[in-house]
C-alpha cells in the first residue's frame, strides 16, 4: 500500500483510472504513412477519476483514490504526484503483475482536438472480493468510472448502504453497465456513450433515453455543444462556456469534479450544472488534464458573481 495524502478524512472516494500521459502537440493530425514533427511534448499524471479527485482536493475537499498500479517507473511518478496534490493514496493497490496505465495523446494545435492512444499496459481488475468498507469511512460521495466494471456494481451497492451518494463517469459500454446505472445517484455520461446506449443522436433525446435506463438524474456532456440534464423533475440544456481551447483532455474529468463539488455544497441543480460547464471550459485552456483546473480562488469568484 502507498501512504500519501492522509491529512484529512475524505469527502469523496474515487474508484477508477489513474494514468501516466504523454502529450504530443502536432500542427495537425498526421495522414497515413506521414512523418510529422511535434511542436511540444509533455508528460504528466492523468486518469479520469484521479484528475477529478485532484480538482476536488485543490478546491478544499478531501479525496481518496482506489486504483491498481504496479512497481514500474510510471507508477512511482503517479504516487509522487498524488502525494504532492494531497490526495489520499493509502488504499492504492500495488501489484507485481501490474503496471501503470499509459496513454499517448496527440493534440491538434489548431483547435485542441485530441486523439488518445491507450496502452499497452497490464492493469489487473479490482475484484468484488477486494472491496473494503473502510475505503468509504468518512466519505460522502463515491465517484466511479467505467474502467472498473468488475467491481463497480458491488462498490456502488456497498457505498449506498453506508449512506454515500454515488456518481458515475460513463465513458464506455461495459458488460455490466445496464446493472450499474440504476445503482448510481447521478450518471454523467459522454455524448458518444449516450448515443451508443440509446441509439439517439440528438443530445436531448440521448440524455432522456439514458435517463430512462437508470431512472436517476442524468447529465450528457457534448464538449463545445453543451450538455443536457434530465431528472424526474426537469430537463434542461446548459450551453458550453466560450474559452480558448488548447487541449480538451481534462474537460470531462473537471466537469465531474465540479458537479460533485456543487452537489456537496447543496446548490440548486441548475447552478451545479452551470458551474460544471464553466469549470470544464477552463480546463481546456492549458495542455494536459490538470494544468487548466481553475483555482480555488477562481471557483469562489465564479460562485460569488453568480456564474
**Residue 233: DSSP 8-state:** S
pLDDT in tens, the chain (307 residues): 444 444 568 999 999 999 999 999 999 999 999 999 999 999 999 999 999 999 999 999 999 999 999 999 999 999 999 999 999 999 999 999 999 999 999 999 999 899 999 988 899 999 999 999 999 999 999 999 999 999 999 999 999 999 999 999 999 999 999 999 999 999 999 999 999 999 999 999 999 999 999 999 999 999 999 999 999 999 999 999 999 899 989 999 999 999 999 999 999 999 999 999 999 999 999 998 899 999 999 999 998 887 6
Domain span including residue 91: 12-304
- The number of C-alpha atoms within 13 Å of 286 and in the hemisphere containing its C-beta is 13
Residue 3 domain flag: no
Nearest alpha carbon to residue 21 among 102, 77, 82 = 102
Residue 282 domain flag: yes
Domain count, the chain: 1
**CA distances from residue 287 to 23, 52, 257 in whole angstroms, order as listed:** 8, 16, 18
Q: SS3 of 78, please?
A: helix
Rounded CA separation 48/43 (Å): 16
CATH code of residue 196? 3.40.1190.20
Residue 112 domain flag: yes
Residue 152 domain flag: yes
What's the pTM value of the predicted model, to 2 decimals?
0.94
Bond prior to 120 in cis (omega within 30° of 0):
yes
Residue 208 domain flag: yes
**CA distances from residue 86 to 53, 62, 65, 211 in whole angstroms, order as listed:** 10, 8, 11, 35
Residue 101 domain flag: yes
Amino acid at each position: 500500500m502507498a501512504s500519501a495524502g492522509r491529512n484529512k478524512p475524505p469527502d469523496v472516494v474515487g474508484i477508477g483510472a489513474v494514468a501516466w500521459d504523454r502529450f504530443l502537440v502536432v500542427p495537425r493530425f498526421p495522414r497515413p504513412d506521414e512523418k510529422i514533427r511535434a511542436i511540444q511534448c509533455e508528460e504528466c499524471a492523468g486518469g479520469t477519476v484521479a484528475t477529478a479527485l485532484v480538482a476536488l482536493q485543490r478546491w478544499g475537499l478531501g479525496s481518496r483514490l482506489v486504483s491498481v498500479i504496479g512497481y514500474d517507473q510510471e507508477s512511482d511518478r503517479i504516487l509522487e504526484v498524488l502525494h504532492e496534490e494531497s490526495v489520499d493514496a493509502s488504499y492504492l493497490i500495488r501489484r507485481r503483475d501490474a503496471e501503470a496505465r499509459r496513454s499517448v495523446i496527440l493534440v491538434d494545435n489548431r483547435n485542441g482536438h485530441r486523439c488518445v492512444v491507450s496502452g499497452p499496459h497490464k492493469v489487473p481488475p479490482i475484484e468484488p472480493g477486494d472491496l473494503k468498507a473502510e475505503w468509504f469511512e468518512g466519505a460522502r460521495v463515491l465517484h466511479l468510472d467505467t474502467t472498473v466494471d468488475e467491481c463497480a456494481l458491488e462498490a456502488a451497492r456497498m457505498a449506498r448502504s453506508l449512506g454515500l451518494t454515488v456518481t458515475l463517469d460513463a465513458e464506455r459500454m461495459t458488460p455490466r453497465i445496464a446493472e450499474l446505472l440504476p445503482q448510481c445517484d447521478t450518471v454523467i455520461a459522454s455524448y458518444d456513450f449516450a448515443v451508443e446506449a440509446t441509439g439517439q443522436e440528438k443530445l436531448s433525446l440521448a440524455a432522456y433515453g439514458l435517463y430512462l435506463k437508470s431512472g436517476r438524474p442524468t447529465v450528457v456532456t457534448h464538449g463545445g455543444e453543451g450538455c443536457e440534464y434530465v431528472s424526474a423533475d426537469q430537463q434542461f440544456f446548459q450551453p458550453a462556456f466560450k474559452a480558448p481551447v488548447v487541449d480538451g483532455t481534462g474537460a470531462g474529468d473537471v466537469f465531474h469534479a465540479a458537479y460533485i463539488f456543487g452537489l456537496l455544497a447543496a446548490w440548486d441543480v441548475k447552478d451545479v450544472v452551470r458551474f460544471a460547464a464553466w469549470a470544464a471550459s477552463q480546463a481546456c485552456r492549458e495542455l494536459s488534464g490538470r494544468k487548466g483546473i481553475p483555482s480555488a480562488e477562481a471557483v469562489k469568484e465564479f460562485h460569488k458573481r453568480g456564474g
